[in-house]
Amino acid sequence: MSNVPSDLKYAKSHEWVRVAGDVATVGITDHAQHELTDVVFVELPESGRKVKAGEACAVVESVKTASDIYSPVSGEIIEVNKTVADNPALVNTDPYNGGWFYKIRLSDAAELNSLLAPDAYKAQIGG
């Protein structure tokens, strides 16, 4: 069964968001990494890029396929995780900590309300 930490918010497209003030950290869920398996490459957005909620802004590649990662919130990318780009397996082994993708300064904090609470995400993935 997939791990769904209770202190995070979730997008239907399997990204998680950890909010601290007006900055959100974004990654993909344990369920998503388990579905992908064998993450071999992570392509991150440029720092400074402005993205809209729902916009494809990163790519995660398994042996089999490339999958787009959609930003759950709008704002400006202020930091990306270079460690995960060098060691993509972190997405599999530590999806909620070492495997984070980027930090984004929120341009519309109200968007957070439309994300899923842990229970709702758990229900979506059937666990």
Partner 1 sequence: MLKRTPLFEAHQKLGGKLIEFGGWEMPVQYTSITDEHLAVRNAAGIFDISHMGEITVSGDAAAEFLNSVLTNDIRKLSPGEGQYTLMCNERGGVVDDLYAYQLSGNVFFLVVNASRTPDDVQWLQKQWEAFPKKADVHMTDASHNYAAVAVQGPRVAEFINECITIPSTSGMRVAKVTDLKKNQIGGFPCHGASVLVSRTGYTGEDGFEIVGRDDSILHIWNLLLEKGKPFGIKPCGLGARDTLRTEMCYPLYGHELDENTTPIEAGVGFFVGLDKGEFVGRPVLADQKANGVKKKCVAFKMAEKSAPPRPHYPIWVNGAKAGEVVSGTQSPSLNAGIGLGYVPPEFSKAGTEIEIEIRGRRSKAVIVPKPIYRKG
Distance of CA 100 to the CA centre of its chain: 7
Binding of residue 41 to partner 1 (CB under 8 A): yes
Total residues interacting with partner 1, rule: CB under 8 A:
11
Q: Which residues of 37-69 are buried (b: 16+ CB within 10 A; e: fewer)?
A: eebeebebbeeebebebeeebbebbbeeeebeb
- Looking at residue 46, the DSSP 8-state letter turns out to be P
Binding of residue 40 to partner 1 (CB under 8 A): yes
Binding of residue 38 to partner 1 (CB under 8 A): yes
Q: Rounded distance, CA 81 to CA 99, Å?
A: 8
Cβ closer to partner 1: 27 or 88?
A: 88
Binding of residue 114 to partner 1 (CB under 8 A): no
> Which one of residues 19, 23, 59, 112 is an interface residue with partner 1 (CB under 8 A)?
59
Rg (CA), the chain: 13
Closest CB 107 distance from partner 1, rounded Å: 26
Summarize as ranges the residues that interact with partner 1 (CB under 8 A).
37-38, 40-41, 43, 59, 61-64, 66
